[in-house]
Amino acid sequence: MMLKPFVYIQNLNLSYRNKAVLKDLYWEVNVCQNWVLWGESGSGKTSLTKAIAGLIPSQGSIEINYNAQSKLPAEVLFVESWYQFKNLEGVANFYYQQRYTSLQANDTLTVHAELVAYGKEKGLHFDLVEPILEALGFATFASSQLIELSSGEHKKLQLVKALWLKPQLLIIDQPYTGLDAASRKNLNTLLEQITAEGVQLILICNDLEFPESIDSFAEIIDGQIVSSFSREIGDLSPEIHKKKIPAFLKESPIYSSNDMVKMVDVNISYGEKQVLKNINWEVKAGEKWLLQGPNGSGKSTLLSLINGDHPQSYANELYLFGNRRGSGESIWDIKQHIGLISPEFHWYFDATSTVWKCIASGFYDTVGLFQQLPYSKRAQVDELIEYFGLTENKNELLTALPLGKQRLVLLARTIIKNPELLILDEPCQGLDQQQTKHFNQLVDELCSNGMTLIYVGHFESQLPTCIEKRILLEKGEVKVVESLNTEILS
């Protein structure tokens, strides 16, 4: 007797804002198969898997044949590409700087409390989660509030829950997003362990570091599944036609000082927890830096000091753009020098903003556009929209776009004012391979005209070639400061 497919999909149709995403899609996931879904941003990968998990409506047939003899929960668990948490009053909306203020004390659950609640809800033994926490380097975050976690730490919390539950079907959207190299390796080991116990996987990712148990691959093209059984899959994204960079971005920034950033014995603590320890670092005008370190090493906190968001900057010897922090400048005086993108900034961005208004707001460093732009600035917004291939999306809500396109919009917002200092904190999260390549080529072109750069990236293969120097943090301390050559980054 032939076994029924574990997941059997027929004539699946799904539309998003009157646009057909999946068209009469047919797909079988057989028992013991583990899949990677590749492909272009916006092709429907997330929509398909959310439909399988029953999270969004669709037309057609989705049949899931659970194993009644299995001890694993007869459940499909979908792990989002990023995590939306709530405070103790059930509110999910936070503002960006709130992560660094003391006003949110005890406003959100701690990691430990979140896990206790999840374990109770799912009937799980708490002692079984501890090896997972250790393997992902997350055991030390038990007392941290959810709002204090970086994007990589939030990803780990989602993964801890999923690995602890071990559902019969586990779907992870962008499993490696925000994870350092060691965590990615350990995650694959954990995924190997749970597949050996009977969990089946569907991973949505364009990465090449997936676990050995992955034996099947699929891409969505024109709303249909195109499958393969080979690991030798190259770049699945179409080549982006290279356009001329807008003329206003070819001009060198006007520098207010040769000293962009200077930190002297900087220390940051939350109660007894010291996050940064005796940091000494200088960034000169025109330099291109790579900032690296494991998850939880203090990278996000370090950047929050530079972009003016951290209140403890006043208690330290910190110089920004030639001025001692706390010498009378406002947060907006600082931000006018900086273009910033980070996963956290993306989380908290105004959900009601259109693509055009989002990009235009970069001129004023506001989360939303609250004033009319002069003609010259409106023309620059239109030029950048055309350059990024967003013309057909310019009047859509930012949140209506696929995640990859949302990130491109925010990247356009980041560079619209041709800033002195460009801070790119994992800017390519959510982008497919070709979009990543395209953006990093843009960064190289921008920086050839003298722009200063601080770039955070875990993947050595996804970095601009212009980077000259590297600073490495470990447990809040500077471990390495070095000059690089392009061969190291290639």
pLDDT in tens, 347-388: 777 778 899 999 998 888 776 666 688 999 999 999 999 988
What confidence category does residue 188 fall into, taking pLDDT thresholds of 50, 70 and 90? very high
The verdict on 253 and 195 lying in the same domain is: no
More confident residue, 431 or 68: 68
Cα 64 off chain centre by: 30
Tokens in use for 240?
Answer: 């982006």
293 and 193 within one domain: no
Q: Is 35 exposed, middle or buried (0-12, 13-18, 19+ CB in 10 A)?
A: buried
The mean predicted confidence, pLDDT, of the chain is: 85
* Mean pLDDT value across residues 397-405: 83
Using the predicted structure, report yes or no on whether residue 50 has a pLDDT greater than 90: yes
Across 81-96, average pLDDT: 51
Residues 92 and 210 in one domain: yes
Residue 307 within any structural domain of the chain: no
80 and 201 part of one domain: yes
Residue 333 lies in a domain: yes
Give the Cα separation of 75 and 64 in Å (integer).
10
What pLDDT score was predicted for residue 240? Answer: 53
Residues forming a β-bridge with 203: 36, 172
Q: In this structure, are 128 and 159 located in the same domain?
A: yes
Look at the alpha carbons of 14, 18, 20, 21 in this order and tell me if their dihedral is positive or negative. Answer: negative
**Residue 475 maps to a domain:** yes
> How high is the pLDDT of residue 91?
44
Instruction: Give the C-alpha distances (Å, rounded to integers) separating 43 from 24, 48, 184, 204.
Output: 14, 10, 25, 12
Number of domains the chain is built from: 2
Checking if the pLDDT of 121 tops 50, the result is yes
The answer, yes or no, to whether residue 165 has pLDDT greater than 70, is: yes
- The answer on 397 and 454 residing in a single domain is yes
Residue pair 193/211 in contact (Cβ under 8 Å)? The answer is no
Q: Is residue 242 part of a domain?
A: no
Mean pLDDT of 11-37: 91
Are 56 and 23 part of one and the same domain? Answer: yes
Are residues 375 and 407 located together in one domain of the fold?
yes
Task: Please report the pLDDT score of residue 23 as a whole number.
Answer: 94
Give 8's pLDDT tier (boundaries 50, 70, 90): very high
Quote the pLDDT of residue 368.
61
| 3-class secondary-structure state, position 357 | helix
Query: Tens digits of per-residue pLDDT, 280-334?
Result: 999 999 999 999 998 888 898 899 899 887 878 788 999 999 989 877 777 778 8
Compute the average pLDDT of residues 144-173: 89
Is the per-residue pLDDT at 252 higher than 60?
Answer: yes
Residue 321 lies in a domain: no
Mean per-residue pLDDT, 188-192 = 97
Q: Which band of pLDDT confidence, cut at 50, 70 and 90, is reported for residue 446? A: confident
Report d(CA 93, CA 87) in Å as an integer. Answer: 9
Confidence bin at 469 (pLDDT 50/70/90): very high
Q: Give the Å distances, CA to CA, from 36 to 88, 201, 456.
A: 36, 8, 26
Q: What is the pLDDT of residue 107?
A: 62
> Closest Cα to residue 198, out of 173, 171, 170?
170
Residues 125-134, mean pLDDT to the nearest whole number: 95
158 and 111, same structural domain?
Answer: yes
Structural domain of 44:
7-228
Q: Do 97 and 127 fall within a single domain?
A: yes
Count CA within 13 A, CB hemisphere, residue 413: 32
Tell me the β-bridge partners of 438.
Answer: none
Best CA proximity match to 52, nearest among 42, 67, 37, 38: 37
3-state helix, strand, coil in the chain (%, to 5): 35, 25, 40
* Of 352, 368, 351, the residue nearest 360 (C-alpha): 368
- CB-count burial class (<10 Å; 0-12, 13-18, 19+) for 115: buried
Residue 84 pLDDT class (50, 70, 90 cuts): low
In a domain, 273, yes or no: no
Cα separation values, 368 from 245, 352, 357, Å = 25, 8, 7
- The single residue listed with the structure tokens 């068209």 is 23
pLDDT of the residue at 52: 97
User: Is a pLDDT exceeding 80 seen at residue 183?
Assistant: yes
Calpha distance 281→318 (Å, rounded)? 10
* Greater model confidence, 443 or 127: 127
Residue at 311 is within a domain: no
In the chain, the percentage of residues whose pLDDT exceeds 90 is 49
pLDDT at res. 127: 94
Nearest 5°: phi and psi at 177?
-60, 125
Question: Which of 82-96, 104-118, 415-429, 475-489 is predicted most confidently?
Answer: 415-429
Average pLDDT over residues 95-121: 70
Residues 252 and 178 in one domain: no
Is residue 81 domain-shared with residue 194, that is, in the same domain?
yes
| CATH assignment of the domain containing 350 | 3.40.50.300
Q: What are phi and psi of 155, to 5 degrees?
A: -60, -40
Does any domain span residue 306? no
